[in-house]
Structure 1
Amino acid sequence: MLNVKQLPPEFYALMEDLQAVDFALVDLTLYLDTHPNDYEAIRQFNQFAKQRGLLKKQIESQFGPLQQYGNSYSGYPWNWDDGPWPWQL
């Protein structure tokens, strides 16, 4: 049986917000691949990219790193293995 670490409700709310922003960024990326001159879509993409950075920073400052290989800083002691993992949400 997996021992899944339980985190406070605000963690899950922030992760849901992050997933929504990530979805919008993927969708806008696909659109911009075929409409590279759509200024409004680029503006929206940049707004979501900024929002994603702020959410990532907030989540990581409270709950630890979201990504590995230098995309996120680690706390001390090494906290990359602190859960839950994305597939456990």
Structure 2
Amino acid sequence: MDSQQREMLRRLQALEFVLTDLNLYLDTHPDCQAALQDFARISEDLRQLKIAYEQRYGLLTVAGFGSGRSPWNWVETPWPWEIDG
């Protein structure tokens, strides 16, 4: 795994974490416009990053994320335990 792939995976994890945190916040503050705007913006950032990652490195999930690639291409990428820290 090259450093750019590792960095993209870290960025994906960070965005997923932020969205989860915002989701929890919005559960108790559903009318907070700033949080709703942040959620929409980060959701789009995450969507774009997933597409970019899959186009470059392969599917993140069996169904993929809009890459148009065959769902069986995942076998061509490293397994999670093959990714160095």
Please state which band the TM-score falls in when normalised by the shorter chain. Answer: 0.7 to 0.9
Highest relative contact order (Cα 8 Å, sep 6+), 1 or 2?
A: 1
| Equivalent of 2:52 in 37, 58, 74 | 58
Q: 1:46 aligns to what SS in structure 2?
A: helix
Moved over 6 A (4+): none
> Structure 2 regions of 5+ residues with no counterpart?
none
- Give, in angstroms, the shift of residue 71 of structure 1: 4.1
Which residue is 1:84 aligned to? Answer: 78
Which residue is 1:30 aligned to? Answer: 24
Identity percentage over the alignment? 35
TM-score computed with the length of structure 1 as normaliser: 0.79
Q: Which amino acid aligns with 1:57?
A: I
Q: Which has the higher helix share?
A: 2
C-alpha spacing 1:76/1:34, structure 2 compared with 1 (3 Å): closer
Q: CA RMSD in A?
A: 2.1
TM-score computed with the length of structure 2 as normaliser: 0.82
Say how many residue pairs are matched.
82
